[in-house]
Amino acid sequence: MHKSFIGAALAAGLLFATGASTGASAQIKIGFHAPQSGPAAADGKSSTIGAEIARDWINEKGGVLGQKIELVIYDDQNRPEQAVPIANKLIGQDKVVAAVSGSYSAPTRAAAAVFQTAGIPYFSAYGVHPDITSGGNWAFRGVTLGGPQGKGAAKFISTKFPKAKVSMLTMNNDFGQSIADGFKEVAPKDGLTIIKEYTFGLGERQFGPIIASVKADNPDVIYAIGYYFVGGPLVAQLRAAGLKQPIVAAQAFDSMKLMEIAKDAANGVFVVGGMDRQRKTPPDLQPFEAEFKKRAGYDTEAVAANCYSSVMLVVDAIKRAGSTDPKKIRDALAATKDFPMLTGKLGYFNAIGEIYMPLEVTVVKDGTFVGATVIDDKTILAPPGK
């Protein structure tokens, strides 16, 4: 326990030291912000480690355009009012050529506006709020938006469990609502019946009343939209209450903590938009998982993979642009085709920087996520325009 604290202090010291010693030499600076303190610090820590692995591996191979890259990292505490000055600092003081957000929607949304005004390419690794990209053409997103994710889930359920009666359990925040909306839009057309939708808050850990009611509904499939820390207790309580129906869950169930919390009850849970930990492609996935575990002390979290791939993609765009001119980097990013992200193969970006990527469906088996199927449907997963 203590070790991680000392480790963090050392890492912070080291970060400071490298920052100071390399200030003079020519480096390509890329901004990065994530919550390193406060309630969202867990994902922030994983995100930052993911981004740092990308930086280190790029630099080991000689960097880009003959220069090393430097990540300028700030703690945004998951607060929009912190993200704005950070964005200004990255642009004005640090002179970054591009920036990556390893943070949630609220700070990312706030910072996106600043980068838009300044004309610096900005990449949201996993923030899902639609407004992040809708403000202009300088922001890009590395994950599929909530709407298409929900539609993908409907497609998956209707294919695997045709004509199923579904009980929906939705987290009542932006993330949950947007996925639920997408699901509800297409579920009836796919032949699914939604019996009832239950909602719960981010802080919810006890689902007794909802479970009692779901039991009375007796659905064929339970579709749960929420984060792993809600999902773990939820899945365990559903199974303990004797509900044996298949559980299909949304992307944010993808955390190794799910299995730690729910134990055996997590087995068989499907995650739409999850990440198959056993996949052999792209070739850097398995080495990444090993390196992440070495640095973090725990298994790879999807947000870390998102941030790793985001930094890789931004650097790839710099290479393709052949320049550190932000405008050229933006154009190169926008022109990205078939880039191998760890979470799946990025197809293209639409006009406002929304990603098209096939959705992987994973299933929990023996304490890890393994691939179940891939939804690659250009119509339902098409990123929404402005």
Alpha carbons 192 and 314: distance in angstroms, whole number: 40
Question: What is the rounded distance in angstroms from the CA atom of residue 31 to the CA atom of residue 74?
Answer: 8
Q: Does 261 bind another protein (CB under 8 A)?
A: yes
**CB of 243 vs another protein, minimal distance in Å:** 10
Residue ranges in 41-70 that form contacts with another protein under rule CB under 8 A: 41-42, 44-45
Candidate segments 17-25, 59-67, 210-218, 340-348, binder of another protein by CB under 8 A: 210-218
- String of contacts with another protein for each residue 1-40, x by CB under 8 A: xx-xx--x----------------------------x-x-
Q: Considering only residues 209, 278, 290, 327, which one is a binding residue for another protein as defined by CB under 8 A?
A: 209
- Across the beta sheet with 27-34, what order do the strands follow? 68-75, 27-34, 98-101, 122-124, 139-141
Asked if 337 touches another protein (CB under 8 A), the answer is no
Does the protein bind another protein through residue 331 (CB under 8 A)? no
In terms of CB distance, is 87 or 266 closer to another protein? 266
Q: Within positions 218 to 247, which residues make up the interface with another protein, using CB under 8 A?
A: 229, 232-233, 236, 239-242
Contact 170, 194 (CB under 8 A): no
List of residues 6+ apart from 14 with CB closer than 8 A: none
Cβ proximity to another protein: between 40 and 334 the closer is 40
Phi, psi of 97 (to 5 degrees): -95, -15
Q: Contact letters (x/-) for another protein, 286-315, by CB under 8 A? A: ------------x-----------------
Task: Kindly state whether residue 216 participates in binding another protein, applying the rule CB under 8 A.
Answer: yes
Listing DSSP states for 298-331 in one string gives SPPPHHHHHHHHHHHHHHHHHHHHTS--HHHHHH
**Nearer residue to another protein within complex by CB, 265 or 372:** 265
Between vectors from CA 111 to CA 335 and to CA 76, what angle results, nearest 5°?
120
CB of 101 to another protein, least distance (A): 18
Spatial distance between the Cα atoms of 152 and 77, rounded to a whole number of angstroms: 32
The site string for another protein over 168-207 (x = CB under 8 A, - otherwise) reads: ----x-------------------------xxxx-xxxx-
Considering the complex, state which of residue 9 and residue 335 has its C-beta at the smaller distance from another protein: 9
For residue 7, the minimal CB distance to another protein (Å) is: 11
Please enumerate, as own/partner, the contacts of 64-69 that have beta carbons within 8 Å and a separation of 24 or more. 64/28, 64/315, 64/318, 64/319, 65/28, 65/318, 65/319, 65/322, 65/323, 65/324, 67/26, 67/27, 67/28, 68/22, 68/25, 68/27, 68/28, 69/27, 69/28, 69/29, 69/30, 69/315
Residue closer to another protein (CB basis): 28 or 236: 236
Smallest separation (angstroms) from another protein to the CB of 39 = 5
Determine which residue in the list 56, 260, 331, 376 makes contact with another protein, applying CB under 8 A.
260
Which is nearest to 277 in space by CA: 252, 258, 305, 250?
305
Q: Answer yes or no: are the C-beta atoms of 261 and 229 closer than 8 Å.
A: yes
Query: Which residues sit at the interface with another protein, rule CB under 8 A?
Result: 1-2, 4-5, 8, 37, 39, 41-42, 44-45, 172, 198-201, 203-206, 208-210, 212-213, 216, 229, 232-233, 236, 239-242, 257, 260-265, 298
